[in-house]
Amino acid sequence: MRIWSCATWLVPLSSLLLTAPALAGTVVQYNKDYVEDAMRAPEFAIDDKMAVLKLVLSGLPDKVTVYPTEGYFYFSFHYKGIKYGGNLRFDIADRDKGIVHFNYFKDFTLWQRDESGFSAEVGKTEGVILTKSGNLLYDLEYKGKKVQFQLADLSKVKPPAGAVQPGETYIGPIFDESAIRFFLIFNESQKTFHYVLDETIPVADQFDMSEVSDRITIGIRTGYAFYDDRFANRKILIGISQYNTSVNNYLDGPFDQLPDNFIVGDTLKNAILAASPDRAGQIDRFGNSPDGETRYLIAPYMQYEEQSELATIADCAATEKLPVYYSCFSFAEAPGDDQAADANADPNAAADPDAEQSDKPADDAAEPAKDPAAKPAK
């Protein structure tokens, strides 16, 4: 969509995702648009946050959907030949107080990872009016432009029979920015979390059989690797492509889209404390530290470079018996590691759910971590 006087093109995530029922029509993306976008001369300064916010809002229709369950509305644009990505975040912690978190920075690539960027918490002081107008519905107005943001309502989404086994706790539904939906589940005996594929709607991907096991399939678009559970009718996420985590794109895994809006009471907190009793008194019901700077990392899947690496999981799952069998799917980061802050972390780090991720942005530094204002732009 061509917007604002600088003629920069912005691509909101909501225009690219499929939901149920499937969005009508096929969108064709043309190279000429990419070329022309990269060549355009902008009419704003990249460090003028409010000008960039105006740019983002001006290209949107009157109402849009925020699909990811942690309330991130992603966008991207080119500035002087460089692609920037960013997001508006409607954080459950302060959106009802009229606060929007705004972030943008240079898109990561394999050859550069410039972590300098721009982030801010904006509200009435900056002339930004955010008002709750309904259930998960927010009106955002700035300089005469008003957009209604509908956060995805998954409150009626329930796991099908068999998706949650005895001895497991259902945490909530997840809509990942990859357009894949999951059910977050905690295994009480093994103290591990699992992301189970939501197949109650058409899955926005197609799958190839892996080279290591006929029980492992890999998404052609996403690279998400799933294991067809031997003991239940469900598919468990066991791997994501290391390439995607290294550039922090939309396919870096569902760790950053927890079901905040749909967690019942202390369900998540209790699961975290069962896995990591040392966190008692150190986290809120969402797994955030008291100062809001870190959030408990739930990323049990492997980060793989080659399919052959998934054989470790296949071999374990083929031989282990219940209940230890489910520990085969836990490849969380080692203690003290921060997967969000270090996307190049060892994909085979020892299984441990205690890793944290940064949740506190500096005003002008977009950290490559999941946080209310500085979630990596994708």
CA distance 119 to 87: 9
Residue 246, CA distances (Å) to 98, 163, 253, 344 in order = 33, 31, 11, 6
Distance in angstroms (rounded) separating the CA atoms of residues 324 and 9 = 51
Highest mean pLDDT among 1-10, 108-117, 219-228: 219-228
pLDDT level of residue 25 (50, 70, 90 thresholds): confident
Q: What's the whole-number mean pLDDT along residues 327-342?
A: 55
Average pLDDT score over residue span 297-321: 97
Instruction: Provide the mean pLDDT of the chain.
Output: 86
First to last CA, the chain: 18
Rounded to an integer, what distance in angstroms lies between the CA atom of residue 177 and that of residue 76? 14
Structure letter (DSSP) for residue 323: T
- For residue 91, the model assigns a pLDDT of 96
- Within 10 angstroms of residue 362's Cβ, the number of other Cβ atoms is 12
**Domain definitions of the chain by residue range:** 2-151, 168-358
Q: Residue 155's pLDDT is what?
A: 97
Query: Alpha-carbon distance 29 to 109, whole Å?
Result: 21
Are 275 and 269 in contact by the 8 Å Cβ rule? The answer is no
Give the pLDDT band (50/70/90) at residue 293. Answer: confident
pLDDT at 22: 57
| Percentage above 70 pLDDT, the chain | 82
Report the relative pairing of strands 302-304 and 235-241 from DSSP bridges.
Answer: parallel
> 117-155 pLDDT, tens per residue?
999 999 999 999 999 999 999 999 999 999 999 999 999
Phi, psi of 194 (to 5 degrees): -135, 140
Per-residue pLDDT of 88-98, as tens digits, reads 999 999 999 99
Mean pLDDT of 344-360: 34
Q: Which pTM does this prediction carry?
A: 0.84
User: What pLDDT does residue 378 have?
Assistant: 60
- CB-based contacts of 28, cutoff 8 Å, min separation 6: none
Residue 247 pLDDT grade (very low, low, confident, very high; cuts 50, 70, 90): very high
Question: What DSSP letter does each residue of 97-142 carry, written as one string?
Answer: GT-EEEEEEEPP-SS-----EEEEEESGGGT-EEEEEETTEEEEEE
